[in-house]
C-alpha cells in the first residue's frame, strides 16, 4: 500500500515527462519514417527511408552536420576558456561583492536572444561599429569580414551562452573547501600546481555540466546563426527549419533533426567517457 501511494506521487511528474519529452520524440521519430508528401501535403501515405536517404545522398545537407558539430565544439571551448576565470574570480570574491557579480553574469539572460544576436550584427557588420572605428582611425581600408562566417557565429554564440558555462563552474568552485588550497600552499605547491592538482579536478563536475549545456544549446541554436551568419553559415538546425516551414517536408526535416540529436548524443557520451563522468 505504501509503494502504491509513493507511485501515485510520481505520476504527475511522469505524465509531464511523457507529454513534453517522450511523446514529442516519438512523434518526430515516426514522422521521419513517413513517405514524402505530394501536392503541397507535408507527408504522404506509407512509410519509408526517403528522408534519411535524401540527407546522406546530397552533400549539401550532409556537410551541414559536421559543420554544426564543429561550431558547437568550438563555441563550448571558447565559453570554457572565458568562463573559468570569471567563475574563479566570483568564487574568491568577498560575500558583499558576490551578489553584484552574480547579477552581472545573469544580466544578459534578461535580454532576449534576438536582441543580443542583433546587437552583434551592429558591431560586426561591414558598416558596423568595429569596422567604422577602424576605418576612421586609418587602420584598415576595407571592412574586415567579421560577420556572415563561422567567426562571427562562434563569437555571438559564445556571448549568448557564456552564463550557462559560468554558473555550473561557479557552483563547483564554491563547493571546494578553502582549507584544501591552503594545505597545498603550506606544502610548497606553486599556484599553477594548485590549479592543476586541486582546483581544476574539484571543478570537473561544473566543467562537464557546463560543456554539455553549451554544446547542446549551440548546435540547436537557430536565431544567432540566422542573424549573424546571414544564412551563409548553413547549420543543420537552419536546414531543419527550412525543410519544415519553407519546403513543407516534414519527414525530411524530422529525419535531419533526429540525425543531429543522435550525433550530439554520441559526442556527449564520448565526452562523458573521456572525462570519467559519474552518473550516480
Residues 6+ apart with CB under 8 A from 269: none
Instruction: Taking residues 209-231, report their average pLDDT.
Output: 93
- Looking at per-residue pLDDT, the higher value among 45 and 262 belongs to 262
pLDDT of 277 strictly over 60 = no
Average pLDDT in the chain: 88
CATH of 70-234, one of 1.10.10.1100, 1.10.287.950, 2.60.40.3080, 1.10.3720.10: 1.10.3720.10
pLDDT of 280 above 70: no
Q: Which residues fall within 8 angstroms of residue 142, CB to CB, at 6 or more apart?
A: none
User: Domain locations in the chain?
Assistant: 70-234
Q: Give 246's pLDDT tier (boundaries 50, 70, 90).
A: confident
Question: Could you tell me if residue 46 is left (phi over 0), alpha (psi between -120 and 50 degrees) or otherwise beta?
Answer: left
Phi, psi of 91 (to 5 degrees): -65, -30
Give per-residue pLDDT as tens, 159-186: 999 999 999 999 988 888 777 777 877 7
Q: Is the pLDDT of residue 187 over 80?
A: no
pLDDT for position 138: 87
**pLDDT band (50, 70, 90) for residue 76:** very high
Which carries the bigger pLDDT value, residue 74 or residue 35? 74
Q: Which residue has the higher pLDDT, 259 or 92?
A: 259
Residues 107-158: tens digit of each pLDDT: 888 888 899 999 999 999 888 899 999 998 888 888 899 999 999 999 999 9
pLDDT of residue 1: 63
What's the average model confidence in pLDDT over 226-237?
Answer: 89
What DSSP string runs through the chain? Answer: -HHHHHHHHHHHHHHHHIIIIIHHHHHHHHHHTEEEP-TT-SEEEEE-SHHHHHHHH-HHHHTHHHHHHHHHHHHHHHHHHHHHHHHHHHHHS-HHHHHHHHHHHHGGGGS-HHHHHHHHHHHHSTTSHHHHHHHHTTS-SS----SSSHHHHHHHHHHHHHHHHHHHHHHHHHTS-HHHHHHHHHTT--HHHHIIIIIHHHTHHHHHHHHHHHHHHHHT--HHHHHHSTT-S--HHHHHHIIIIIS--HHHHHHHHHHHHHHHHHHHHHHHHHTT----
How many CB atoms neighbour CB 214 within 10 A?
Answer: 28
CB atoms under 10 Å from CB of 95, counted, come to: 6
Measure the CA–CA gap between 98 and 174, rounded to whole angstroms.
Answer: 11
Which of 75-89, 177-191, 198-212 is predicted least confidently?
A: 177-191
* Span of 8-12, 45-49, 275-279 with lowest mean pLDDT: 275-279
Q: Determine what percent of the chain is predicted with pLDDT higher than 70.
A: 97
**pLDDT > 90 fraction of the chain, expressed in percent and rounded:** 49
C-alpha cell at 270: 564520448
What average pLDDT score do residues 187-212 get? Answer: 86
List residues bridging with 47 in a β-sheet. 34
Amino acid at each position: 500500500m505504501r509503494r502504491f501511494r509513493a507511485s501515485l506521487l510520481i505520476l504527475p511528474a511522469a505524465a509531464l515527462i511523457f507529454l513534453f519529452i517522450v511523446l514529442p520524440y516519438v512523434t518526430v521519430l515516426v514522422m521521419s519514417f513517413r513517405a514524402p508528401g505530394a501536392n503541397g501535403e507535408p507527408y504522404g501515405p506509407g512509410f519509408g527511408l526517403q528522408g534519411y536517404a535524401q540527407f546522406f545522398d546530397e552533400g549539401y545537407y550532409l556537410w551541414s552536420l559536421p559543420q554544426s558539430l564543429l561550431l558547437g565544439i568550438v563555441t563550448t571551448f571558447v565559453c570554457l576558456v572565458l568562463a573559468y576565470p570569471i567563475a574563479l574570480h566570483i568564487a574568491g570574491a568577498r560575500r558583499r561583492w558576490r551578489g553584484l557579480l552574480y547579477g552581472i553574469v545573469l544580466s544578459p539572460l534578461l535580454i532576449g536572444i534576438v536582441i543580443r544576436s542583433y546587437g552583434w550584427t551592429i558591431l560586426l557588420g561591414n558598416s558596423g561599429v568595429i569596422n567604422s572605428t577602424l576605418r576612421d582611425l586609418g587602420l584598415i581600408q576595407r571592412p574586415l569580414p567579421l560577420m556572415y562566417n563561422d567567426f562571427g557565429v562562434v563569437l555571438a554564440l559564445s556571448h549568448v551562452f557564456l552564463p550557462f558555462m559560468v554558473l555550473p563552474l561557479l557552483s563547483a568552485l564554491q563547493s571546494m573547501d578553502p582549507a584544501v588550497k591552503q594545505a597545498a600552499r603550506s606544502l610548497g605547491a606553486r599556484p599553477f600546481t594548485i590549479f592543476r592538482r586541486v582546483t581544476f579536478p574539484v571543478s570537473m563536475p561544473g566543467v562537464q555540466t557546463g560543456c554539455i549545456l553549451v554544446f547542446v544549446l549551440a548546435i540547436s541554436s537557430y536565431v544567432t546563426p540566422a542573424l549573424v551568419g546571414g544564412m551563409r553559415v548553413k547549420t543543420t538546425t537552419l536546414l531543419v527549419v527550412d525543410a519544415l516551414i519553407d519546403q513543407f517536408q516534414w519527414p525530411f526535416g524530422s529525419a535531419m533533426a533526429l540525425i543531429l540529436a543522435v550525433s550530439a548524443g554520441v559526442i556527449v557520451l564520448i565526452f562523458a567517457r573521456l572525462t570519467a563522468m559519474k552518473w550516480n
